[in-house]
Each structure stands twice: as C-alpha cells, then as structure tokens.
C-alpha cells in the first residue's frame, strides 16, 4: 500500500501516541541512570570494547608471531600478563581474542533472535494450531539442558567456531520465542490492533508495525543477558576443542591452551578466564539494570 493514500495516513495516526511512546523510553533511561550496577557494567563494557578494538594501537606485538626466545615470560615489564610457550604476548592475544569472543556472543544471539522472534510473533499473533504446534516444539527444546542441545548440533555439524555459534544460537532460540510470544499475545488484544485490522491492514503489516515494537523491550533485556551467556557457552565449546581452533586466539581456546601448561605458566590460564569473567559480569550488570528499567516483570 503506497504511503500517500489516506488509509495509510490514518493507520499511522492510529499507530501510537508518539509522545507517550517516547516517554516510556525516557523513563527507562532515567531508571537505568539511577542503577549503579548498570552504569558500572556499561562503563566496564565500554572500556573492554574500546581496548579490544584498539588492540593494534594498545599493543606493539603481533598476536600470532612466534618467537621461541621469549617463551614463558611471567607477567610484568614488557609483557604485563606474560607470554605463552611460543613467545607470543598473552595480553595482545587476549585483546585480539576479545574481538572474536565478543563477536561470537553477538552473532550467537543474532542467530537465536532470527529463529526465535519470528516463531514467537507467529505463535502469539496467529494462535490456534500454529501456536500449539510451535509451542510444543519450543517446549520440547526447552526440555533439554542448553549445552546438551548445542553438543548434539556440534556432533552433527562438526567442530568449528561457526558451528559453535549456530549451536549456541539454536539452543537459546526457544527462550526468545516464548518471551516474544507472550508479549505478542498481550499486545494482540489492544484496541489499536483491532483498529488497524478494521482499517484493512494485512497481518504482516500489523505484526511488523504494531506487534513487533511491543516486543523490543523484552528482546533488548533478554538479548543483552543472552550475549553474556553466549560468550560463556561458546568459550566452553572452544575450551572443549569443539569451537574455535588454534591458533585462533578466542578466549576459551586460549584458556584451553593454557591449561596444558598450568604448572609452568599459570598466567596463560588465569588471564583469559579473568577476561571472560569481567566481560560477562559487566554485561550481566548492564542486563540486570536494563531489565529493571525496561521490564520489571522479567525480574527473577
């Protein structure tokens, strides 16, 4: 439908009292600013992202260049967190690995969203048999512990970082489908949806323009916390040898490398793990703050 027709104009008028919509987000921002945890999380996360992106500027070393003469140097001096067996600067490898780990978290969650959100929207909006069938599948997927499902997928697709992300994404998707469905169900009964339907909007348009915006707040919250979970899950798979493969400096893979030298070089295990923990902690703090600010009902 071309946007210049009168019908569409009235639909846009029905769409939402814009001022009220904006004030919900502004309220949320005010609440978020009041949460000390969220601010702390956001600041730490910003520092981590800046450091990881600026790895080339921050570190004079190459993350992959091997130099046997500088192997196993303990933390301090020119190598603040030491070097590994092949003489590579560990700090540099952690910084470059951070790019990979953060990306893994974001991509896994994107996979989960791409699968979960449409399923949830369809289930919630159409109801009936579509809903029953989809939710039966989702329930079944939720019957399995997430990592087990991920392991099944890896066993089938074979070990690699991409497959690890797909596995983590698929196994997280049912949670998104559920939450989006319940939000869509609630939104469906609103008067403006009925109005849009009366004006002749197609189902697809109603879902995209009127239902989807309602689900954004819970998606932001779940997605943020999901990135934290996905980073840990993907690192765990890499640690087990089922995700990133050497010499990729992903955090889980770095830790797995370090574990073989725990007796001689504890720093090779300690620091990559610390990097994972601080990052995940920051994202969790931010996510908790976002949840309290945007959607208090999701509070555990």
Partner 1 sequence: MLQYIAKRLLLTIPTIVAITLMVFTMLHAVPGDPATIFAGDKNVTPEQLAVVRRSMGLDRPLTVQYLDYLTRVLTGNFGRSLYSQRPVSIEISQRWPSSAELAASAFVLASTLGLVLGIISALWRSTWIDASAMLFAMLGVSMPIFWLASMLIFVFGITLGWFPVIGSGGWNRLVLPALALGLISSATLARLVRSSVLEVLSQPFVTTARSKGLAEFKILARHVLKNAFIPVITVMGLQFGTLLSGAVITETVFARRGIGKLLIDSILIKDFPIIQAVIMIISLAYVLINLLVDVSYALLDPRIRFD
The answer to whether residues 291 and 221 touch, using CB atoms and an 8 Å cutoff, is yes
Q: Which of 38, 42, 90, 232 binds partner 1 (CB under 8 A)?
A: 232
Least separation in angstroms between CB 256 and partner 1: 8
179 binds partner 1 (CB under 8 A): no
Instruction: State which residue, 130 or 151, has the beta carbon closest to partner 1.
Output: 151
Q: Scanning residues 187 to 206, which ones bind partner 1 (CB under 8 A)?
A: none
151 binds partner 1 (CB under 8 A): yes
Three-class secondary structure of residue 177 per DSSP: helix
Instruction: State which residue, 11 or 234, has the beta carbon closest to partner 1.
Output: 234
Contacts 24+ apart (CB under 8 A), 5-8: 7/199, 7/200
Q: Which of 209, 240, 248, 298 binds partner 1 (CB under 8 A)?
A: 240
Instruction: State which residue, 61 or 239, has the beta carbon closest to partner 1.
Output: 239
273 binds partner 1 (CB under 8 A): yes
Three-class secondary structure of residue 76 per DSSP: strand
Q: Which of 79, 252, 291, 294 binds partner 1 (CB under 8 A)?
A: 252
284 binds partner 1 (CB under 8 A): yes
Q: From residue 38, give the alpha-carbon distance in Å to each of 27, 75, 103, 227.
A: 15, 31, 21, 15
Segment contacting partner 1 by CB under 8 A, of 11-19, 66-74, 151-159, 205-213: 151-159
Q: Which of 269, 291, 293, 295 binds partner 1 (CB under 8 A)?
A: 269
Q: Secondary structure of the chain: what % helix, strand, coil (to 5)?
A: 75, 0, 20
Q: How far apart are CA 72 and CA 79, in angstroms?
A: 10
Estimate to the nearest angstrom the gap between the alpha carbon of 263 and the chain centroid.
Answer: 34
Q: Which of 161, 164, 217, 228 binds partner 1 (CB under 8 A)?
A: 228
Q: How far apart are CA 39 and CA 226, in angstroms?
A: 19
Nearest to 279 by CA among 100, 151, 146, 112: 100
Running DSSP on this structure, what letter comes out for residue 210?
I
Three-class secondary structure of residue 89 per DSSP: strand
How many C-beta neighbours within 10 Å does residue 157 have?
13
Instruction: State which residue, 78 or 262, has the beta carbon closest to partner 1.
Output: 262
Binding site for partner 1 (CB under 8 A): 140, 143-148, 151-152, 154-157, 159, 228, 232, 235-236, 239-242, 252, 255-256, 258-259, 262-263, 266, 269-270, 272-274, 276-277, 280-281, 284-285, 299-300
């Amino acid at each position: 439908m071309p946007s210049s027709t009168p019908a569409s104009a009235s639909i846009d008028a029905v769409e939402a009292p814009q001022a009220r919509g904006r004030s919900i987000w502004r309220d949320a921002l005010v609440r978020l600013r009041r949460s000390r945890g969220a601010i702390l999380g956001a600041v730490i996360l910003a520092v981590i992202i800046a450091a990881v992106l600026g790895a080339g500027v921050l570190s004079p070393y190459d993350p992959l260049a091997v130099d046997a003469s500088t192997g196993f140097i303990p933390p301090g001096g020119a190598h603040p967190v030491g070097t590994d067996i092949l003489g590579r600067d560990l700090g540099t490898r952690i910084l470059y690995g951070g790019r990979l780990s953060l990306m893994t978290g974001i991509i896994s969650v994107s996979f989960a969203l791409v699968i979960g959100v449409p399923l949830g929207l369809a289930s919630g909006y159409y109801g009936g048999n579509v809903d029953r069938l989809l939710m039966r599948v989702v329930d079944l997927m939720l019957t399995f512990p997430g990592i087990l499902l991920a392991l099944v997928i890896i066993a089938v697709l074979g070990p690699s970082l991409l497959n690890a992300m797909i596995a983590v994404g698929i196994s997280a998707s049912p949670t998104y489908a559920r939450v989006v469905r319940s939000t869509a169900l609630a939104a469906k009964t609103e008067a403006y949806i009925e109005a849009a339907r009366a004006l002749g909007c197609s189902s697809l348009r109603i879902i995209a323009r009127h239902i989807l915006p309602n689900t954004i707040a819970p998606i932001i919250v779940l997605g943020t916390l999901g990135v934290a979970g996905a980073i840990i899950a993907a690192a765990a798979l890499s640690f087990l040898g089922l995700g990133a493969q050497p010499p990729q400096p992903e955090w889980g893979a770095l830790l797995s490398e370090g574990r073989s030298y725990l007796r001689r070089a504890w720093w090779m295990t300690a620091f990559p793990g610390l990097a994972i923990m601080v990052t995940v902690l920051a994202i969790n703090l931010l996510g908790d703050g976002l949840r309290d600010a945007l959607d208090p009902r999701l509070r555990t």
